[in-house]
């Protein structure tokens, strides 16, 4: 096509016709249209696609989904980050980001409304391994209705978050965008790691991340993505137990963290004051020095693209002098 345009333009110049200027106005438009058509063709050519989901089910998606229902906020955030906002027609009652989800149909919470989902006529339902076993019957009903149901992995670390993004990208025909999104996250994480090298070993902070307040105190422990974010910024997690253990207040006092991070400010009034006023905690370094900070829970606990924002919040809370 480019060769044809070049020959035509040369011919017009040879005969002294200046109409070529008019043609130059149309060429970008035509090229843009061709580019759009080519992109659509590439997306269509990717289907049908077969994906092995988190439950080892082989899910066949016949064509690029035009309507998507997400059963969990992390899936929704990934879908929107991939530019699928218009395709998402239903979300869970817990979804709150981005703002556009407020205008989407709500399909329930842990117990989703099967009839409601079917009425939305989705081509793809994005389920999640964390709740799939408890909702097995509902998911079966959706499959029996001819809807492709993809159970996304329950990410325990950042690499698994990348897997979630790539899985949803492949299922939705946005594989290239998924790869770009993952590459962008990796680049930002590397920049944070590079900045964290400025922190000397003797200046490393001991940190306690509280995900549920007293009287039932739960914390982020080893082999969690929050622990991975702490390691990324050269902070030491005082909780070495696996997962999300329930903590005895005396154990927290004994481990004496330099900084306490809370993630429950969205439902606890004055979470910082709550920690500072606890009986027996006045001797903890973080309390004595008033190094208690509440951060955005969703950004540090929701396994999606905003984990980059989450680690930035943690970095500024723990090392404000380094991460201004």
**Residue-wise pLDDT tens digits, 184-206:** 999 999 999 999 999 999 999 99
41 Cβ partners below 8 Å, 6+ apart? none
Task: Tell me the HSE value of 190 on the side-chain side, using a 13 A CA sphere.
Answer: 6
pLDDT at 154 over 60: yes
pLDDT at 44: 59
For 165-178, b/e burial (b = at least 16 CB within 10 A) is bbbbbbbbbbbebb
Cα angle value 123/126/128 (rounded, 5°): 155
pLDDT at 34: 56
pLDDT at 22 over 80: no
Q: Give the whole-angstrom CA distance, residue 285 versus residue 288.
A: 5
Question: What share of the chain in percent tops pLDDT 70?
Answer: 86
Q: What is the mean pLDDT of the chain?
A: 89
Burial of 145 (0-12, 13-18, 19+ CB in 10 A): middle
In this structure, the dihedral spanned by the alpha carbons of residues 324, 230, 277 and 283, taken in order and rounded to 10 degrees, is -100
pLDDT at 19 over 50: no
Q: Give the whole-angstrom CA distance, residue 318 versus residue 310.
A: 12
Kindly state the average pLDDT of the residues 97-111: 95
> For residue 48, is the peptide bond before it cis, meaning its omega torsion is within 30 degrees of 0?
yes
Helix, strand, coil percent content, the chain, rounded in steps of 5: 50, 15, 35
pLDDT at 24: 40
Given a contact cutoff of 8 angstroms between Cβ atoms, the answer to whether 46 and 39 are in contact is no
Q: How confident is the model at residue 9 (pLDDT cuts 50, 70, 90)?
A: very low
Q: Give the whole-angstrom CA distance, residue 167 versus residue 149.
A: 12
Tell me the β-bridge partners of 106.
91
Kindly state the average pLDDT of the residues 75-98: 98
Q: Tens of pLDDT along 206-215?
A: 999 999 999 9
Q: How confident is the model at residue 225 (pLDDT cuts 50, 70, 90)?
A: confident
Given a contact cutoff of 8 angstroms between Cβ atoms, the answer to whether 274 and 214 are in contact is yes
Q: Tens of pLDDT along 267-315?
A: 999 999 999 999 999 999 999 999 999 999 999 989 999 999 999 999 9
pLDDT at 33 over 80: no
Q: Give the whole-angstrom CA distance, residue 305 versus residue 81.
A: 7
Closest CA to 164 of 15, 2, 311, 303: 303
Q: Tens of pLDDT along 126-150?
A: 999 999 999 999 999 999 999 999 9
pLDDT at 324: 82
pLDDT at 295: 97
Kindly state the average pLDDT of the residues 81-107: 97
| Neighbouring C-beta atoms of residue 36, cutoff 10 Å | 10
pTM of the model: 0.84
Closest CA to 124 of 69, 44, 51, 54: 69
């Amino acid at each position: 096509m480019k060769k044809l345009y070049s020959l035509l333009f040369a011919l017009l110049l040879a005969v002294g016709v200046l109409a070529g200027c008019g043609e130059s106005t149309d060429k970008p438009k035509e090229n843009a249209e061709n580019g759009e058509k080519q992109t659509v063709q590439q997306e269509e050519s990717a289907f049908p696609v077969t994906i092995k989901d988190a439950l080892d089910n082989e899910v066949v998606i016949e064509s690029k989904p035009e309507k998507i229902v997400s059963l969990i906020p992390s899936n929704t955030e990934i879908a929107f980050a991939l530019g699928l906002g218009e395709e998402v027609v239903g979300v869970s009652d817990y979804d709150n980001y981005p703002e556009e989800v407020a205008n989407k149909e709500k399909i329930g919470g842990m117990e989703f409304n099967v009839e409601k989902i079917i009425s939305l006529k989705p081509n793809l339902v994005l389920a999640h391994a964390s709740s799939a076993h408890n909702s097995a019957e509902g998911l079966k009903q959706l499959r029996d209705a001819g809807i492709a149901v993809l159970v996304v992995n329950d990410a325990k670390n950042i690499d698994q978050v990348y897997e979630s993004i790539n899985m949803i990208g492949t299922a939705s025909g946005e594989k290239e965008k998924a790869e770009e999104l993952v590459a962008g996250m990796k680049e930002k994480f590397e920049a944070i790691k590079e900045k964290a090298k400025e922190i000397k070993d003797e200046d490393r902070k001991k940190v306690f991340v509280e995900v549920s307040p007293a009287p039932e105190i739960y914390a982020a422990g080893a082999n969690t993505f929050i622990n991975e974010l702490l390691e990324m910024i050269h902070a030491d997690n005082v909780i070495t137990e696996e997962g999300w253990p329930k903590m005895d207040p005396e154990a927290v006092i004994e481990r004496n963290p330099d900084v306490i991070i809370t993630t429950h400010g969205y439902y606890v009034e004055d979470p910082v004051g709550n920690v500072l006023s606890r009986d027996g905690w006045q001797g903890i370094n973080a309390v004595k020095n008033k190094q208690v900070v509440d951060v955005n829970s969703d950004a540090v606990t929701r396994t999606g693209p905003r984990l980059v924002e989450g680690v930035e919040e943690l970095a500024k809370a723990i090392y404000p002098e380094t991460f201004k």
